Structure 1
Amino acid sequence: MIKLHSSRDSQEILALQTMLRRAGMPVTVTERGNLLELWLVQASYEAAARELIREFRTNPPTEQEPQAPLATLGGAALWHVLARQAGIFTFVLFVLVLIVAAAQWFVAPEFTLSQLIFSPHGGHTLEASQPWRWITPILLHFSATHLIFNLFWWWYLGGRLELVYGSKVLIFVTLVTALASNYAQWYVSGPLFGGLSGVVYGLLGFAMIVAWQRPRHPLALPPALLVFMIGWLVLGYTDLLWVNVANEAHSVGLISGILLGFVWRAKKPAMR
């Protein structure tokens, strides 16, 4: 790998990484002491990558410029704003969840549910011949509040992870945490459940560990967000909430994400 740039400014590194990835260049970020380092994976892109960085540093984006409200932006401008916050897999799963919600609520509710729940026969019978069911409950949502809550956190947490480590890492974390959280919820309560929140808590756990004691890391999360998310998880085990909560999916999703975070730090110490 070739080191392109180093900085203590996590926002600058994240902006450079995002810009280069949009240009199709394979880059990653590592941490060394108080420095974040931007690395190019394939040497053949070096000349083009350095030219893009030179242009970026010559004409950096002006943070002081007022941002138009999202409601006033045209389609292209709105997409440009959103694209800076996430990668392609974040967007694809976001849209897929919306499509499933439309089918589940308005087009073919019974058929959609029967094809995507963990076990079509009820009870505790695994359908080994239909392994997609072990993942697809993350696409199901049972209220608008449920859907909006999960999609917001998916975009915020999944988008950050994908911009920092790439689509393959986000896909892997999503699949592992989906399998773990779905299995736990099915084992405890049966097949009639759904939602992306087990994965969301998995992403939260992964980010917590990867960025632990690294306040400048691009995945570092505000303490208030951590308090809110953990508090919501704890409240789910009480009678204080007015909605049904998939407690086992949340807890096991968080634990599986934490474990993946520890594995990432142990196996990839130079790629934090």
Structure 2
Amino acid sequence: MKLLLTHPDPEHMANARQYLLRHGIPVSVSERSGQLELWLLQDNYQETALNLLRDFDDLPADHQVAQPSHQQSMFGPTLRSLSQQAGLLTFAIFLMTLAVAAAQLVFSPQAVMGSLMITPLHSMQLSLSEPWRLVTPAFIHLSATHLVFNLFWWWYLGGRIELRLGAGHLALIFLVTAISSNLLQWYTSGPLFGGMSGVVYGLLGFCTLYSWRRPTSLSLPPALIVFMVAWLLLGYTDLLWVNVANEAHLMGLISGSLLGALYRLREKSS
């Protein structure tokens, strides 16, 4: 951890903390000897965090993040914190995925899957007359663990991308990684699969290549990248106790990495 700021004013410190969190910088506040200290939780964000703090100091007071009122409902700060970690598209896809999971519980799972699988039930043939089926397998999850895992990474990675680049760019990344990973998984194993793991690996690849050797708000801890790649490789062994859509993971990572490299080249040339 790195100490970023020491300040005696609780309101100023709270506003600075919220400003950094809004930009995807992981920080926490502690108190020592009557002074408040703002700590950076991941060292690779240091340069970006310091630049953001300089920007924050230059903002007019009415543009700085306000301290939440203590008279608000206990849900107010929680909702505000969540909204500062992601945008509307991140939230919308999060809710759509939960809605599909709820429909699988309330209605016939077979009927829900039949309407969202890459091909209709009892068919192995891909048909472009229903183009939404190229995307909708990403919303199907066959276990609670699978659902929670993917939604966490979608919020963590997709939210960062939307805050930095905007909803339109996140939508493009989502569509490209979902379609490419679903197509390869269908081609190699047939239509009986689902999940957002291909998209998650696409977001991981995008953030990694976009921020390669330069600190940005999309920079990820090296340990996280190593863990996710190791999990992908483990899927190709007999060591895992669950079925894994290996080709979806791999194609998601490849397509997301290519997009990250293209975005970086575009920014460098502009």
Q: Does the alignment reach a TM-score above 0.5?
A: yes
- Match of residue 55 from structure 1: 61
* Alignment match, 1:24: none
CA–CA distance in structure 2, aligned partners of residues 221 and 122 of structure 1: 42
Query: Does the C-alpha gap of structure 1 residues 243 and 267 become closer, same or farther in structure 2, counting only changes over 3 Å?
Result: same
Aligned to 1:224: 223
Matches within 5 A, 1:224-243: 224-243=223-242
Within 2, Cα distance between the matches of 1:51 and 1:218? 19
Residue 206 of structure 1 aligns to a residue whose secondary structure is: helix
SS at match of 1:268: helix
Q: Is the 8 A contact 1:122 1:190 kept in 2?
A: no
Q: Which amino acid aligns with 1:228?
A: F
SS class of match (2:59): helix
| Shift in Å, 1:267 | 2.1
Q: Deviations over 1:1-35 (max 9, x none)?
A: xxxxxxx99xx79937948xxxxxxxxxxxxxx77
Structure 1 pair 236/56, CA: closer, same or farther in 2 (3 Å)?
A: farther
- Answering whether residue 246 of structure 2 is matched by residue 247 of structure 1, we say yes
Q: Which residue of 1 aligns with 2:74?
A: 74
CA contact (8 A) 1:123 1:190 kept: no
With over 3 angstroms needed to count, the CA separation of the structure-2 counterparts of 1:226 and 1:151, relative to structure 1, is same
SS at match of 2:112: helix
TM-score by length of 1: 0.75
Give deviations 1:162-214, integer Å, cap 9, x for gaps. 11111111000000000100000000111110000100000000000010001
1:188–1:51 distance in 2 versus 1, CA, 3 Å: same
Q: In structure 1, how many angstroms separate the alpha carbons of the residues matched to 2:264 and 2:223?
A: 24
**Paired AA for residue 98 in structure 1:** L
TM-score where L is the length of structure 2: 0.75
Superposed displacement of residue 268, structure 1: 2.5
1:259 matched residue in structure 2: 258
Q: 1:15 aligns with which of 15, 19, 25?
A: 19
Q: Which amino acid aligns with 2:77?
A: A
1:112–1:208 distance in 2 versus 1, CA, 3 Å: same
Q: Residue type matched to 2:149 in 1?
A: F
**Which residue does 1:5 correspond to in 2?**
none
* Counterpart residue type for residue 83 of structure 2: A
1:231 counterpart SS class: helix
Contact 2:19–2:65, Cα closer than 8 Å, also in 1: no
Question: 1:159 maps to what in 2?
Answer: 159
Q: What's the offset of the Cα at 1:252?
A: 0.3
Cα RMSD over matched residues?
Answer: 3.1
Q: Deviations over 1:232-267 (max 9, x none)?
A: 101111111111100000000000001111111122
Distance 2:217 2:17 in 1: 8
Q: 1:126 to 1:60 in 2, by over 3 A?
A: closer
Q: 1:52 to 1:194 in 2, by over 3 A?
A: farther
Tell me the distance in 1 between the aligned counterparts of 2:148 and 2:100: 14
* Cα displacement (A) at 1:98: 0.4
Give aligned-pair identity as a percent.
Answer: 49
Partner AA of 1:172 in structure 2? L
Residue pair 1:114, 1:120 contacting (<8 A) in 2 also: yes
* Unmatched tracts of structure 1, length 5 or more: 1-7, 20-33, 39-48, 63-72
Which whole-Å deviations, capped at 9, do the CAs of 1:66-106 have from their partners, x for residues lacking one?
xxxxxxx8322221111111111111100110010010123
After TM superposition, list the pairs within 5 Å mapping 1:199-214 onto structure 2.
199-214=199-214
How many pairs align? 226
